[in-house]
Every structure is written in C-alpha cells, then in structure tokens.
Amino acid sequence: MRKQYYLMEEDKNELTPEEKIRKENDLLKLKMMAEQGAKFFEGSETELSPTIENEWLNYIQNFEELHKNAKKISVYKLIGEPTFEAEANLDDASITKKLNELLEYMGEHGVCLDYMDGYDDRVIYKFIVDELFRYEMDDVRMDGMVSHFIYEPEFD
C-alpha cells in the first residue's frame, strides 16, 4: 500500500499536531530523495520523535542548500585571518605553547586538525601555518558545525 504524502485542505484541520509534523517529515523526505538522492530506511528500532526528526531533516536540508551555493574560501580566511608567527621564528621552548594556542583558536572558529600522537609540535605547527591555512574549502557555516582535517604526511 502506498503512503499518500499530500494533505487535502479538509484533512489539515482533522490532524493532530503530531500527525501534521509526521506529514511534513514525509514531504521533506520525498523532497530530499528527489533533489539529493537521499535514502531513508523504515522500521528502525530506535525511532525519533516526529519533532526531533523534523529538526534533523530541516538541519540537513539547510546544510544541503548552503553547500550547493557555497563559494570557496581558504581555511585562513574562514577562521578570521589570525596573526601567527612563522614556525622558523619560534624557538623550541615556545613552539608547543604556540601550537596549543593555534589549535584552540581554530577550534573556536569551527576548524579542527586531527593527527596521531608522536609528531613533533613544530611539524604540526608548520603544517597548519604553511599548508592548512592555504587550503580552499566550501564556505559553509552552521551553528555547531566543525570542519575536521587530518594530518597524514604519507599522503603528501
């Protein structure tokens, strides 16, 4: 049996608030399947409440719209063009402090660099300032969103 995803005018008044949200969710899912090729799976054991699902669907829809229209921006510009010293100008005693300040600043601006333990702080600092800052990415900004980058030198 097929679900009907439209609301007839006379049906709108007969639906409970929860039913209205469920219908809106069904319409949002259809739109996302048609426009972005989204896939949804029915029958999950841990179903979301209709209200939470609606918030999530709208968040995803907003992200897709922002991403579709996004311009390119460097990581450096995205985080506000901060002033940080060149790695060569820092002595060994101050490099760790400056790296921690830089990582904290980036985090406050929604950018995170992930890397394995064991790398010298100077190597990571130099990578951020000389390479990551120049990287062009989509300019998509949403509350709570964090862009993660991974330092893996074997892929250089």
Tell me: the pLDDT tens digits for 103-121? Answer: 999 999 999 999 998 899 9
CB 132 within 8 Å of CB 149: yes
Look up the pTM and report it. 0.68
Write down the pLDDT at residue 12: 57
Mark 43-57 as b/e (b = at least 16 C-beta within 10 Å). eeeeeeebeebbeeb
**pLDDT band, very low/low/confident/very high, at 48 (cuts 50, 70, 90):** confident
130-154 pLDDT, tens digit each: 999 999 998 988 788 899 999 987 7
Neighbours of 40 (CB within 10 A): 12
Query: What residue ranges in 4-133 does DSSP mark as E strands?
Result: 72-74, 111-114
CB 99 within 8 Å of CB 135: no
